[in-house]
Amino acid sequence: MPGRLIVLSNRIPTEGPPSGGLVVALHELLAERGGLWIGAASDFADEPSETFQPVAGEERYEKATFDLTEDEHADYYLGYANSVLWPLCHHRTDLLAMERRYADGYRAVNARVARMLAQIVGPEDRIWVHDYHFLPLALELRRLGVAARVGMFLHIPFPAAADISALTESDEFYQWFAAFDLVGLQTEADVARCLDAYRRHPSGEMLLDGRVKLDGSIFKVRSFPIGIDGKTFADIAKTPPAHDPVHIRADARLILGVDRLDYSKGIPHRFRGFSTYLARRDPCSPRATLLQITPPSRESVMAYQEITRELEALSGRINGQYGEIDWTPIRFVVRSVPRETLVPLYRMASVGLVTPLADGMNLVAKEFVAAQDPDDPGVLVLSRGAGAAEQMTDALIVNPYDAEDVGDAIEKGLTMPLEERRSRHAALMEVVRNTDIFEWGNRFIDALGAVKKPAAQMRET
């Protein structure tokens, strides 16, 4: 009899209906298959419990949380996960915060979650671990003798070998991934970087069946490009909004950026690209306003405070240089907007600017395409640093570091003939359909079920 599905992710919806693409998709998958979803509790604990706390309110599957103290949140979550692993995987080794206590806190939280899981997991269960918050989890489970299948999906890029070597814990980093049975990455480029890193490792071995061996552990690595619920998106976009989401002059065009406030998203570079476009623009051409919607994130981490200041100064400078009494070229909005507002904005925009320096996939690119009117679609300008660029080759692909390249793409997007816009959009829509998020989830879970049982490769304690 097949075991149950156990999903572990940092964030878990504990109150009200789930919102946000991934959370909704995991909710639907669990509602269909049954199982258990575990995530971090939203309130800090004084003394963390050694058992999961059940969360009520869901009948089709179980939900539970694990505790975190305030210090653990600082070291494990803000520290190691977001000030070490996040910059590492986004090619920003210059931002690595080397604090011994971060790694200690990270290992300790993962070891505790593994101990709690070991108490409840059956040998036929499948454990699906999400993201960089839980890299040591499979290694800890194996040390406890757990033989269930354990899979990791990494939502962010897999780092290059040279970047991994900047990590104090680089040896452990290799062992952490190797202890999973299945490692899912976003793109073929991620898979290539992962294989290359293990090939270079003195104990790494490529097996004939394509799996990777490191010391006593064998794992499989594959790409599972994540997507969105495209149909629901297109349906929302077709419904006229109750009111105009933004008042843009009839003779002006809208260029839209939507990103968490994060240095990986390349927002300063984007502003400079827009500034290049403004500098060269024909004064008789329609005015274009860049609306940048930027929900704040990880505000207590220093690198995030710095980028906010940089963007405020940059948008002020560009608006001062090019603005007119009835036109502000950049509208920089540092807050999140409701989805009912976001989707009509996507649809109104002539150009969607998705120009991260590095990004696992970037779902905004797919949402923008799904929300367009196929008869009169906007143009997607997409960075080659986004995982999405591997599939969405009919977007205007740019080098996000090159302001002139971005400026040219903006110009090209704003002036693209209708026929070309339609044919590019149709091709991109095909990609969105082919990477539906529900299929993505089912594919990963089935692939995890199909891997050989790990009992034969159990590690020594």
Closest approach of ligand GDG to the CB of residue 246, in Å? 13
Write out the binding residues for ligand GDG, residues 96-155 only, by CB under 6 A.
155
Residue whose C-alpha is closest to residue 63's, from 53, 72, 73, 51? 53
If the CB atoms of residues 148 and 363 are measured against ligand GDG, the closer one turns out to be 363
If the CB atoms of residues 21 and 329 are measured against ligand GDG, the closer one turns out to be 21
* Near ligand GDG by CB under 6 A: residue from 10, 336, 399, 442: 336
Closest approach of ligand GDG to the CB of residue 65, in Å? 21
* Near ligand GDG by CB under 6 A: residue from 163, 359, 405, 408: 359
Write out the binding residues for ligand GDG, residues 276-315 only, by CB under 6 A.
293, 295
Closest approach of ligand GDG to the CB of residue 398, in Å? 17
If the CB atoms of residues 371 and 410 are measured against ligand GDG, the closer one turns out to be 371
Q: How many residues line the site for ligand GDG (CB under 6 A)? A: 21
**CA-CA distance, 219 to 177, in Å (whole number)?**
8
* Near ligand GDG by CB under 6 A: residue from 231, 339, 452, 453: 339
Q: Is residue 410 a contact residue for ligand GDG (CB under 6 A)?
A: no
Question: In sequence order, what are the beta bridge partners of 7?
Answer: 37, 128
**CA-CA distance, 133 to 77, in Å (whole number)?**
7
Residues with active-site annotation: 155, 359
**CA-CA distance, 162 to 95, in Å (whole number)?**
15
* Near ligand GDG by CB under 6 A: residue from 92, 213, 260, 384: 260
* Near ligand GDG by CB under 6 A: residue from 114, 314, 364, 406: 364
Burial of 456 (0-12, 13-18, 19+ CB in 10 A): exposed
Longest dimension (CA), the chain: 72
Q: In what order do the strands lie in the sheet with 252-258?
A: 330-333, 287-293, 252-258, 351-354, 379-383, 396-398
Instruction: Judge whether 303 and 311 are in contact, CB under 8 Å.
Output: no
Q: Is residue 236 a contact residue for ligand GDG (CB under 6 A)?
A: no
**H or E segment to which residue 404 belongs:** helix 403-415
Write out the binding residues for ligand GDG, residues 15-54 only, by CB under 6 A.
21-22
If the CB atoms of residues 199 and 339 are measured against ligand GDG, the closer one turns out to be 339
**CA-CA distance, 206 to 204, in Å (whole number)?**
7
Closest approach of ligand GDG to the CB of residue 265, in Å? 8
* Near ligand GDG by CB under 6 A: residue from 125, 367, 405, 411: 367
**CA-CA distance, 397 to 354, in Å (whole number)?**
10
Q: For residue 231, give Cα distances in angstroms to 16, 22, 226, 394.
A: 23, 15, 15, 20
Q: Is residue 337 a contact residue for ligand GDG (CB under 6 A)?
A: yes
Closest approach of ligand GDG to the CB of residue 11, in Å? 11
> How many C-beta atoms lie closer than 10 Å to residue 183's C-beta?
23
Length of the chain: 461
For β-strands 217-223 and 330-333, DSSP reports them as: unpaired
- Residues in contact with ligand GDG by CB under 6 A are 21-22, 155-156, 226, 258, 260, 293, 295, 336-339, 342, 359-364, 367
